[in-house]
């Protein structure tokens, strides 16, 4: 299950980087919420 979550995060990284160019706040929010959601599954 953790491996699946990691794959989802890695697949989203290019999208998040593109979002950084348009809206850094949105990027930060996505990383924060995504990281907090994925951490319990990974750990």
DSSP secondary structure letter of residue 23 = -
Tokens (6 digits) for 3: 């491996």
Contact between 2 and 42 (Cβ < 8 Å): yes
Range of the domain at 4: 1-42
- pTM of the entire structure? 0.28
Number of domains in the chain: 1
Task: Give pLDDT tens digits along the chain (43 positions).
Answer: 566 666 666 666 666 555 545 566 566 677 777 766 655 555 4
**DSSP assignment of 5-40, as one string?**
HHHHHHHHHHHHHHHHHH-HHHHHHHHHHHHHHHHH
């Amino acid at each position: 299950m953790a491996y699946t979550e990691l794959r989802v995060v890695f697949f989203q990284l290019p999208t998040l980087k593109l979002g950084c160019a348009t809206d850094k706040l949105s990027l930060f929010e996505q990383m924060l919420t995504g990281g907090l959601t994925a951490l319990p599954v990974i750990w």
